[in-house]
A and B are shown apart, each in its own frame.
Chain A
Amino acid sequence: MDEMFAKKLRILADAAKYDASCSSSGAPKRTAGKGELGSTTGAGICHAYTPDGRCISLLKILLTNYCLFDCAYCVNRRSSNVQRAKFSVEEVVTLTVEFYKRNYIEGLFLSSGIIKSPDHTMELLTRVAKSLRRDHGFRGYIHLKSIPEASPWLIEEAGLYADRLSINVELPTEASLERLAPEKDGAVIQHAIAQIGERIVEAKAEKRRFSPAGQSTQVIVGADATTDEALIRKSALLYGSYNLKRVYYSAFSPIPDGSTILPLTSPPLQREHRLYQGDWLLRYYAFTPDDVADATEDGMLSLDIDPKLAWALKHRHRFPVDVNAADREALLRVPGLGARAVDKIIRARRHTRLRLDDVARLTSALKRARPFLIAADYHPAGGLTDRLDLRARLADPPQQLSLF
């Protein structure tokens, strides 16, 4: 790699890193045939971790960080003074293939600033994916960030080659979008997400290939005043009505050459963490958006306890739950019991009566679970769930997971 190429790579990787999604999951299992390169595994693989604890699964870069838009939260907005660069289609293809051959990555996550026009930009993105598939027999993972302002047929063409398409909601409310991203139009974004969603459902029914790993999006947390409750409700809408696979929450992060209308500090990373936990409750624990809202105080999730525990502390009359008798839904509500632990409990209790020691072997968070459950040889004495200091006893020590 020559120095010019390496320099572009540094600029365009740096410019892409504020997108939180990195997952290479959800694609149908594929393997390389004769003369082909690459496979997908279903769950995806993290090939390395950076000192921020985040996984590198895909080569996440921008085609270019020149951009006509001026979104305040974005490091690549046109009024930012960052260094600019642009890759050619061939350069991105080469980089992807060569990194892939060395087992550095699962595939490509390509996004771009908007240059010339949304259509022009979208065509370039699609050309990269097409060349990988057609010219290099590439069977690895491709995630394309779609340009919502691009013409519908171009977004649809991208779905022929990509495993996943995504369009970022970025800001959860119309008002924030207007203030921070004046050229963006919430309706256009929503419409493009709906369009992709429709095509995915249609193609699945007709057994055609179209973005088989579905669609995801990202919401920035902490750049405006939106509450956790509003964010979770927005996600529930995106999962329910638009069939999204994932919503990523990205704690707003200070960026080089920041804009004056942004908050000066970043929200605690713990807030992002709690939002992901709330999101999981929606998707895997049969919580309704109202249940998650119920776990908040004035719309905000507690930073020191997880949302499931917060919900349980507010609904103490629903506990303790008998691990040897309760149904799955009731067990899923027990703090400290994950969905897998619950399934193991249900399987094991068909053959044996579970004691507390047994439960200890099925979950790694017995301390949190204990006050809320009954086992064959255990009952939380004196109504432990009524103790006033329960919250304090179960809360995380403060400051964990904050900066440094």
Chain B
Amino acid sequence: MGVPPPGLPPCAEGAGSCSGTLEAVDLSLGADLDGFRAAARRLAGRRVPPERVLWSIGEAPGLFGTPTPSPDDEAPLSLPRGVGAMVARVVLHRDPERYALLYELIWRSLHGERRLLEVSSDPLVHRLERMAKAIARDLHKMHAFLRFRRVEAREPERFVAWFEPDHHILGAAAPFFVERFRSLHWTILTPEASARWDGTRLTYGPPGRREDAPAQDGFEAGWRDYYESTFNPARTNLSAMRAEMPKKYWRNMPETAAIPGLVRQAAARTGAMIEREPQMPVKRNPARAVAAMADQAPDSLEALNAIIRRSEPLVPGATQAVLGEGPVGATIAFVGEQPGDQEDRQGRPFVGPAGQLLSRALEEAGIARGEAYLTNAVKHFKFEERGKRRIHQKPTAGEVSHYRWWLDRELDFVAPRLVVALGATAVLALTGKQIPITRARGPAQFEKPYAGFITVHPSYLLRLPDEAKAEAYAAFVADLRRVHDLGRSLAA
């Protein structure tokens, strides 16, 4: 018997049962976390040292993963960080000594060694860590090696698995399967208990038997084919396989039936590969196909548009891609930001309020809209839903650069003399740089085969307060007149 720590009475005052005699604690079968917690509270509260406790495991089956509020009225223990988690882990171990070891951990943590768990070199901590590791491994292997078989002719699909874990882990392992197979109905049978998921609720029941699971599954042969085919005989390494997939698991894994055959033939297969004379290729002179392969870029605006139309928006939500509009060979091309709500519905650029404003300004500046090419830097509408309204969201720099590939090719096909960037996003798309409009407004050089011009986006005008609108609109029209003149001089 150990000596109680100095300065502490061996037991609480008046607790007659503890002086000199052994305290017996009987817990249920399996992982009796609640029983252990109640006992530990009672014992620690009365300062019963570990060496005076005799832990035994009775016949009553424990609960699996469904902790019930314990009826004890002992005050909860205030344990240092990590101790509670270690207890919850190690009670799952099948070692009958686990409760004694855990109580010793609690006792020492409460009596002068609050940071005991940090001392991995301590023999007790070392042993508990190894037990916790064994539990983690058992859980991991159950998640990995359990195989479901489908119960034939049942809708919704129902799956059953038989598995034999080393420790009392069914309750700890089941949530993983819920999170993964939420839409299926399944049962996991073990020799200790079973777990069942009906699509909404997880319940635990009595032990199962191997025969309670279906004897086969329609995809097992295919799985075994896959297992055999993915094996590389030139790299046979049986000890590495056994270290990670010990033999005890094999009997419940359908693919392992292939192992003896694979191992037997491995040497011969490798030898045959090495010894075989290289052969002339029997057929296939794909010169034309190889040449065609290099030439896959879209060769017309229509081909490019077909690709854009098929593409997925970078941010989900848009109804459709909005393509550019206007004649190939137009003198002037206008590049906006991205389609808005109306554009997204109609599938055409510049048809919403900002587009209507642009049309009016173009007309005042003497530019025929139908003769210009209009497009956007980004081809999909990005928005945030607020009630029934879809509120436009500015595209990010990353999104703009994603769409740049297309804009560049689009403008190559249209081949305008002058490209007008409407707003900062268009400037970013055309130059790759963030440039403030106020500073760069007017003729610009985009380092492209066409002349450039920078002005505001018409939606900017819509957002201005009424008193500023007229002046800003006039400046916009004045910009467009310069564009018109520039376009005429370039076309001449």
- A216 to chain B minimum Cβ distance, whole angstroms, is 18
B83 CB to nearest chain A CB (Å): 15
Distance between B273 CB and nearest chain A CB, rounded to angstroms: 5
Determine if B274 and A13 form an interchain contact, defined as CB atoms under 8 angstroms apart.
Answer: no
Is there an interface contact between A53 and B230, defined as CB atoms closer than 8 Å? no
Judge whether B391 is part of the interface by a CB distance below 8 angstroms.
Answer: no
Interface assignment of A399: CB less than 8 Å from any CB of chain B: no
A259 with B181: CB separation less than 8 A:
no
* Residues of B with C-beta under 8 A to A254: 234, 270, 273-274
Q: How far is the CB of A340 from chain B (nearest CB, A)?
A: 10
A81 touches B281 (CB 8 A): yes
B239 interfacial by beta-carbon distance below 8 Å: yes
Known A257-B279, A352-B121: A153·B402 in contact at CB below 8 Å = yes
CB-CB under 8 A for A206 and B398, given A1-B219, A99-B219, A358-B121: yes
Report if B15 contacts A (CB, 8 A): no
- Interface residue A391 (Cβ < 8 Å from any Cβ of B): no
Assuming the contacts A45-B140, A258-B273, asked whether A56 and B230 have C-beta atoms less than 8 A apart, the reply is yes
Within 8 A of A (CB), among B194-221: 217-221
Contacts of B1 in A (CB 8 A): none
Instruction: Name the residue of chain A whose CB is nearest to the CB of B222.
Output: A1
Tell me whether B147 and A104 are in contact (CB under 8 A). Answer: yes
Among A102, A114, A137, the one with the most B-chain Cβ atoms within 10 Å of its Cβ is A102
Q: Which of B119, B225, B289, B297 contacts A10 (CB 8 A)?
A: B225
Q: Give chain A interface residues in 53-93, CB to chain B under 8 Å.
A: 53-56, 59-61, 68, 78-81
Q: Quick check: is A321 within 8 A (CB to CB) of the other chain?
A: no
Give min CB distance, A360 to chain B, whole Å.
9
> Cβ of A361: which chain B residues have Cβ within 8 Å of it?
120-121, 123, 126
CB of A34 within 8 A of CB of B255, answer no
A258 near B278: Cβ-Cβ < 8 Å: yes
**Does B44 sit within 8 A of A, measured CB to CB?**
no
Complexed CA–CA distance, A39 and B405 (Å): 34
Q: In the complex the two chains form, is A32's CB within 8 Å of B179's CB?
A: yes
Cα distance, A362 to B120, chains bound together (Å)? 7
CB proximity to B under 8 Å, residues A19-57:
31-39, 41, 45-56
In whole angstroms, how far apart are the Cα atoms of A14 and B184 in the complex? 31
Size band of the B side of the interface? 35 or more
Give per-residue flags for B143-160: 1 if the beta carbon is below 8 A from chain A beta carbons, else 0: 111111110000001010
Cβ of A255 within 8 Å of any chain B Cβ, yes or no, is yes
B183–A1 touching, CB < 8 Å: no
Q: Does B396 contact A (CB under 8 A)?
A: yes
B115 on the interface (CB 8 Å rule)? yes
B184 x A37 contact (CB < 8 A): yes
Q: Which residue of A lies closest to B226 (CB)?
A: A13
Check B236 against A403 for contact (C-beta < 8 Å).
yes
Q: Is there contact, CB below 8 Å, between A49 and B236?
A: no
- The stretch from B46-54, B308-316, B358-366, B477-485 touching chain A is B308-316
Q: A6-B225, A160-B314, A255-B273 are in contact. Are A51 and B119 (CB under 8 A)?
A: no
Which of B118, B244, B307, B396 is close to A350, meaning CB atoms less than 8 Å apart? B118
Q: Which residue of A lies closest to B116 (CB)?
A: A351
A81: B residues at CB distance < 8 A: 279, 281-282
Residues from chain A with a CB closer than 8 A to the CB of B238 are 51, 53
Given contacts A49-B244, A358-B121, 5 further A-B contacts (CB under 8 A): A6-B221, A47-B145, A101-B148, A103-B161, A119-B296
Could you tell me which A residues sit within 8 Å of B by CB distance?
Answer: 1, 5-6, 9-11, 13-14, 16-18, 31-39, 41, 45-56, 59-61, 68, 78-81, 95, 98-99, 101-104, 114, 116-120, 130, 137, 149, 151-153, 156-157, 160, 183, 199, 202-203, 205-206, 208, 251, 253-260, 264-266, 269, 344, 347-348, 350-352, 354, 357-359, 361-362, 401, 403-404
Can you pick out 12 interface pairs between chain A and chain B where the beta carbons lie within 8 Å of each other?
A9-B226, A39-B180, A45-B140, A45-B143, A48-B144, A99-B226, A101-B157, A119-B296, A202-B396, A255-B273, A256-B276, A358-B121
